[in-house]
Amino acid sequence: MDPLEVEFLAEKETVKIIPNFSLDKIYLIGGDLGPFNPGLPVDVPVWLALNLKQRQKCRIVPPEWMDVDKLEETRDLERKEDTFTPAPSPYYMELTKLLLNHASDNIPKADEIRTLVKDIWDTRIAKLRLSADSFISQQEAHAQLDNLTLMEINTIRTFLLDSLNCMYKLRSNLQPASSKGQYADF
Amino acid sequence: MPCERKPLRFAHCEGHTEVCFDDHGKFIVTCGSDGDVRIWESLDDDEPKFITVGDKAYSLALKNNKLVTASSNNTVQIHTFPDGDPDGILTRFTTNATHVTFNCSGSRVAAGSSDFLVKVVEVSDSSQQKTLRGHEAPVLSVTFDPKDDFLASSSCDGSVVVWNIEEQTQVISWPLLQKTNDVSGANSLCRLAWQPRRAKFLAVPVETKVVLYERGSWDHVITLSDDLLTQPVNVVAWSPCGQFLAAGCVGGLLTLWDVNSQLCVERQKHEKGFTVCSLAWNPSGSQIVYSDTMGCLGLLDGLSLSSSSTSTSTSTSTSTSTSTSTSAPKPTAAKKPAKEYDDLFDDDDDDRLMDEGLSDTNSPLKKHVAGDEDDDDDDFLMPATGRVRNRGAILDDENSLDTGSLKLGPGKFGDDDEDASGAIVPVSAPVLPLRPVYDGPMPTPPQKAFQSGSTPAHLTHRFMMWNSVGIVRGYNDEQDNAIDVEFHDTAVHHAMHLTNSLSHSMADLSQEAVLLACSSTDELASKLQCLHFSSWDTNKEWMVDLPKGEEAKAVCLGQSWAAVATSSLILRLFSIGGLQREIFSLPGPVVCMSAHGEQLLIVYHRATGFDGEQALGVQLLQLGGRRRQVISGEPLPLTHRSYLSWLGFSAEGTPCFVDSDGIVRMLNRSLGNTWTPVCNTRDTCKSRSDHYWVVGVHENPQQLRCIPCKGSKYPPTLPRPAVAVLPFKLPLCQTSTEKGQMEEQFWRSVLFHNHYSFLSSSGYETDEDGQSKSLKEQQELLMKMFALSCKLEREFRCVELAEMMTHNAATLAIRYASRSRRMALAQRLSEIVLEKANQIQEEEPEEPESSSIRRNSGYDQSEAAAGHHSPTRGEQEEEEEEEQEQERGGELCEEGDQQEMETEEPTGNRKRFNPFAKESVSSVTPSLTPINKAGRANPFKVLGSGKPSAPPGQTRVTNILDNMTSSRKAAPHAGSAGKANKGPVLKPLAPRPKSKAQSTLLQMTGSKTTSKKTRDSSEPTAQQQKQQEAPPPASSADNTENKRPKTGFQLWLDDNRKSILADHPDMEAETDVIKEAMGRFRTLSADERLSWTERAKGLTGEAADLKKRKRATGEGEDGVDHENGATEADENSAKKKKSLDPSSKLSAFAFNKK
């Protein structure tokens, strides 16, 4: 899966915006949106929020978790725990990227948030690598990893699967019985 | 000692705090670890002035309008009070000071520091410093001897030291405390306190006790303790009179001792149990303010010190002496008056001190005599009088006497007595003059004028207006004095940035313009500036100077007009283009104004309020085409001790206001312009200091738009606050119950529905959709409540509910009632429905339009009801009703022409039939429908014929009477009918009287419309035809009919049915049977028929008997009835269709024949 695809999925998440225009309910396949009242917060999908933002039709209200204090807490917890803690949002990385890139003027302390989310991401990815490493080194058949987000799974998937495949091949070649196979390969 | 503990409030962030009163007891001054010093006018002051003194403030002291603080930059600095201007640095330490204090006169400041030093500095000349060295750990606290000779300090090294200031030497040092390294590690702050005035005792908190050392001898004389004191005492403070000592402890306990009696006179527990770290007495002695380590500020109020003096005197004989051998304070009741008398003459401290010095000479004597307590007491009379005698003789100065007394040694114990008792006196003497003579209700300072939707004017960055159109922000700092106008809807206008050269302080914003106003300065008059951005010419701005001496107090913008209320109680109206319009006087100083469309709402001071109340009046004017005053100066109902905080209109134009207690009230135009509380914003607040700042009210959808403010009353401009939406909730009782909830919803819906009628009455177009929706919702709720009441067996309540329903909903209610087998209820409901129908009819000729509206609403209603019942039903009914009306109209046109009517009827039937054909969903069998229809159509004619040539009035009277008798008759039957109902198969065979509910209704309508008709000869035929048509619906009617009184014909039919059936075995349909029966009945002689009728009348008595018979026949006839029975349930509920009342028809028939 492409990261862009994951991002696309993340755009379905809702976010609050404060529109500066007036529009009745709009009826879309994905559900009804609105009504839009100027100055009154309304929930819309991220893709629409960004679109409106780019056209300067709204202000985006950052999601609740996108707050320096809360993220600091999450980061500290993430660092303390050996296992994965629940992510602030299933699409925290994607949303942070999208919102900060397009609406950083509406998000207080955008830079700090960017750093914090990057910290959390790094911590989690490090854990993920570590667990993949121990998974392989201990030659386990299966492992359980909770609270992984889609993006994180996606990051490790190609590498992990390919390497496991590769290792499987190598390992099966080591066994005496497979020496025939080796010949067969040639 | 009774006192009132005021609720806590947050004053600072977590950490050490200190508190004190200013010299006059007017302000409470606090400092905390947030580095701010806050000046509170009272505990409820929401906008305290603050002075930032550093990153952290460790301690503060206030005297002679000089505020001395110890801050984190290791300095002790002075600020002016209350302005807060920096006034220099008094002294510096190498680390932070821990405690600062003033001496009695305010000429010196002592500061203890974490670098082990204590410094005494002259306030006037900070170069004159005295450093007291000797502590071996950070200094915890310092206190001055009121006579300025000594200074006491406590330190983390565990010592409490008394210093001679002049010589900078230690006088005495007590190792009393636990040793620690740092102030933060000390288990007690050990704030020392020297008794004021007398300077007799030094109070030292030691663990859970307070130890009093005597000045001069430095002996431990008194230990104050209390059983409830289990944790270390942190801080002690003397009352201004010096008689009482207050202590605050680590666990949050506040204890108050009377030093004379050494008794604990008051204990208060900190409401959250936080550590009390500072205590201060109000100079008047009636209040103690305290603060804790969590930043909270609390107050004990109403300490009546004088009242305790009696208790102290009674306790004297029991109190025992402390460490020293002599009895310590032992004032007697006899002595006190003398003392007080003394004090009348010498309020002056010096004088008294002289006397005390004198009395010392008496005390050794006393000591020898004092064998027991009583003797002691007796003796006390002597010195008291002796003092009076001696006073004139002693003319030495205070100091010499004082030192003398110090040297006296043994005599000091007598002095003890004198002092202690003397200490009582100042309580009454000096305090009394301070107290105001007038003790009644105090006038409230009148609320200042404000713009609703603005934050306080003293802020540098503020909202000047936040309304439904946009936001006006004002900036007034060093760099910039500007106004930003921003529109919620950018389609209105782009954002504007104006330089605020005139320093406007008021603003309003509408779709057309921005209105700004400033108050006058020395040179410039008060101005009104209008940016009329929607103007189509090039001049987008105008400005008006108000006359000299007149100040703009409040401004507002309506639709194409602007209003300004001025300080000379004048309201000036301008057109939006700048033309001057009307001008009128206001009844009082304006508080706030708001406008919407052509409405202008003014709130002003009606009178002076008392005891915290504001006396506000409200005026509502209509300025458009129909100029009038809707509300003329009625009092504005505010919550107790609150003030107005927001005033405005809902988006739909209903006046609303919010008071400082967060109650939102809305004008109820349908209840004589009363104000209904619709929301309490404080209910949704999480903490006591959180508020909601209202920015708008919407009635459809019901939204209260406001900004949540954490820990303040209004939002800051940055970060940009987000609007939240709160729901409305009427404060009805028991809204946790289902009933309460529905009641609340209903009345809220009714209230929020008012604006439709207002809008339509003032000629605006209304949102029909929304209106019908809300009507529908209301009727739905009524039905739900009805159903609930039914379930709870509250039939009376059901009837009350039905009275509130529309006609259609009520008929549905009847259906519900009869379906749930509540016949008595259905009966009563039918009467209500009848009345409603009458009302509709009465209104119809007068106001055809309104009735059509009614019908409309009825339609919605039935649809609404359909949500609960069958949807097709409701529509059917509606259509039927329309038919009915149509028909009635037809009848009216063709008055008297019975023949025509007859011909018309089939058409009506056909028309009516259609809905059924269309709505095959309905389970009504086709075979039945035509019959039904016929039945429905008939009543008009039947009744008309039943009461030939009766004048209209009379007709109605008889009808009502009929109704009443029938209901009366119905009642006794109800019980048996109920039982009969339980038999599932028991179908009424013969045409039985129908449920009275329907019949009466239709009788009424019929009689009304046809009353004017004259009868012609074709009547009997018509009658006959009708009878033939009529019975079938009746036969298929529900079991409830069983209880109806029978007509003679029915009785006869019951008796003879078998024989008829025997004669015509081929007769399947009930109609045929009845037709045949009718024929036979008619052949009977008049006398016979009469006798049947008579029997019918006397039926009540024989009801049981008849019932049996009926049952017998009923069982026999089951087969005949069968197909009707199959659809009975449907028929049962479709009341309207069964509109024909066979019983009435039949009785009419009998009557005619007679």
CB A144 within 8 A of CB A138: no
pLDDT tier for residue B1065 given thresholds of 50, 70 and 90: low
Interface of B with A in 533-572 (CB under 8 A): none
Confidence band of A74 (pLDDT split at 50, 70, 90) = very high
B722 with A18: Cβ contact below 8 A: yes
- Spell out the alpha helix ranges (H) of B1036-1085: 1048-1063, 1070-1083
Say how far apart CA B729 and CA A42 lie, in whole Å.
22
pLDDT mean over B627-652: 91
- Helix or strand (DSSP H, E) at B446: none
- Give the best residue of B697, B723, B725, B767 to mutate against chain A (max A CB count within 10 A): B723
Q: How many Cβ pairs closer than 8 A exist between chain A and B? A: 37
- According to the model, what pLDDT value does residue A48 have? 93
Quickly state the pLDDT bin for B999 (edges 50, 70, 90): very low
Percent of chain A predicted with pLDDT > 90: 55
Assign B381 a pLDDT band (cuts: 50, 70, 90): very low
pLDDT score of B328 more than 70: no
The answer on pLDDT for B34 being more than 90 is: no
Q: Chain A closest CA to B714's CA: distance in Å? A: 18
Best A22, A40, A56, A57 residue to mutate vs chain B (most B CBs within 10 Å): A40
Q: Where are the domains of chain A?
A: 3-173
When pLDDT is averaged across residues A149-156 and rounded to a whole number, the result is: 91
Which range, of B119-133, B291-305, B718-732, B803-817, averages the lowest pLDDT? Answer: B291-305
Q: Which residues of chain A lie closer than 8 angstroms to B705, CB-CB?
A: 39-40
Cross-chain residue pair B722–A108, CB shorter than 8 Å: no
A18–B487: do the CB atoms touch at under 8 Å?
Answer: no
By C-alpha distance, the chain A residue nearest B490 is A20
111-150 of A, contacting B, C-beta below 8 A: none
User: Which pLDDT does position B1070 carry in this prediction?
Assistant: 67
> Would you state the pLDDT for residue B214?
87
Q: How confident is the model at residue B1048 (pLDDT cuts 50, 70, 90)?
A: low
Predicted pLDDT at B1035? 42
Distance CA B1002, CA B1010 (A): 12
> pLDDT-derived band of residue B124, with 50, 70 and 90 as boundaries?
confident
pLDDT attached to residue B311: 40
Distance from CA of A121 to the nearest CA of B (A): 27
Q: Please provide the DSSP assignment of A49-64 as one string.
A: HHHHHHTT-EEEEPPT
Q: What are the residues whose beta carbons fall under 8 Å from the beta carbon of A134, sequence distance 6 or more?
A: none
Q: Does B723 touch chain A (CB under 8 A)?
A: yes
Min CA distance, A37 vs chain B (Å)? 8
Q: B364 vs B681, which has greater pLDDT?
A: B681
Contact A18 B724 (CB under 8 A): no
Share of chain B above pLDDT 90, in %: 17
Q: A78 versus B1018: which is more confidently predicted?
A: A78
B651 at A interface, C-beta within 8 A: no
Between B59 and B766, whose confidence is greater? B59
Which pLDDT tens digit goes with each residue over B869-915?
Answer: 444 444 444 444 444 444 444 444 444 444 444 444 444 344 444 44
CB nearest B719 (choices: A20, A38, A108): A108
Per-residue pLDDT at B215 exceeds 60: yes
Tell me what the mean pLDDT of segment A79-85 comes to: 90
- Least CB-CB distance to B489: which of A16, A21, A56? A21
Residue in A21, A37, A108 nearest the CB of B490:
A21
The pLDDT score that the predictor gives to residue B957 is: 40
- Better-predicted residue by pLDDT, B293 or B349: B293
Could you say which of A16, A20, A108 has the minimum Cβ distance to residue B488?
A20
pLDDT score, position B300: 84
| Angstrom distances, CA of residue B955 to CA of B834, B893, B1004, B1012 | 15, 20, 9, 10
What mean pLDDT value characterizes chain B? 72
Give pLDDT, residue B1109.
52
Q: Do A61 and B722 touch (CB under 8 A)?
A: yes
pLDDT-derived band at B655, boundaries 50, 70, 90: very high
Q: Is A30 on the interface with B (CB under 8 A)?
A: no
Confidence of residue B1055 (pLDDT cuts 50, 70, 90): confident
ipTM greater than cut 0.90: no
DSSP state of B15: B
pLDDT tens for residues B43-75? 777 788 888 888 888 888 888 888 888 888 888
Tell me how close the Cα of A113 comes to any Cα of chain B, in angstroms: 16
Q: Which of A123-127, B78-82, B744-748 comes out lowest in average pLDDT? A: B78-82
pLDDT, tens digit, for every residue of B927-966? 443 444 444 444 444 443 444 444 444 444 444 444 444 4
Average of per-residue pLDDT across A5-15 = 93
Nearest-CA residue of chain B relative to A107? B719
Residues in chain B closer than 8 A to A41 (CB atoms): 722-725
Q: Residue B812 — very low, low, confident or very high, per pLDDT cuts 50/70/90? A: confident
Output the pLDDT for position B313: 38
Contact map slice: A 95-114 vs B, CB within 8 A: 108
Kindly identify which residue of chain B lies nearest to residue A61, measuring between CA atoms: B722
Summary mean pLDDT of chain A: 88
Q: Quick one: average pLDDT of A122-150?
A: 89
- The chain B residue lying nearest A109, using CA atoms, is B719
Percent of chain B surpassing pLDDT 70: 65
Question: From B720, which residue of chain A is nearest by alpha-carbon distance?
Answer: A106
Q: How many CB atoms lie within 10 A of CB B921?
A: 9
Of B111, B106, B99, B120, the residue nearest B31 (C-alpha): B99
Beta sheet of B599-607, edge-to-edge order: B590-596, B599-607, B615-622, B628-635
| pLDDT at residue B774 in the model | 87
Residue in this structure with the two tokens 């009632």, named with its chain if needed: B817
pLDDT in tens, A21-68: 989 999 999 889 988 988 888 999 999 999 999 999 999 999 999 999
Q: What share of chain A is helix, strand, coil (3-state, %, to 5)?
A: 60, 10, 30
* Nearest chain A CA: its distance from B596 CA (Å): 18
> Does A61 contact B at CB distance below 8 Å?
yes
With a cut of 90, say whether residue A124 has pLDDT above it: yes
Q: A3-173: what fold?
A: Methane Monooxygenase Hydroxylase; Chain G, domain 1 (1.20.58)
Judged by a CB distance cut-off of 8 A, whether residue B495 touches chain A is: no
Cα–Cα distance for residue pair A99/B501, rounded to 1 Å: 39
Q: How far is B726 from chain A (nearest CA, A)?
A: 12
Instruction: Please report residues of B whose CB lies closer than 8 A to that of A108.
Output: 719
Asked which of A112-116, B62-66, B918-922 is least confident by mean pLDDT, the reply is B918-922
Average of per-residue pLDDT across B787-805: 88
Confidence at residue B360, expressed as pLDDT on a 0 to 100 scale: 41
Q: Coil, helix or strand for B346?
A: coil
Scanning every residue of chain A, which has its alpha carbon at the shortest distance from the alpha carbon of B486?
Answer: A20
Residues A98-108: tens digit of each pLDDT: 999 999 888 88
pLDDT of B566 above 60 = yes
Does the beta-carbon distance from B723 to A18 stay under 8 Å? yes
Q: In this model, does residue B770 exceed pLDDT 60?
A: yes
Residues of A in contact with B703 (CB under 8 A): 40
The answer to whether the Cβ–Cβ distance between B720 and A22 falls below 8 Å is no
Judge: A41–B723 Cβ closer than 8 Å, yes or no. Answer: yes
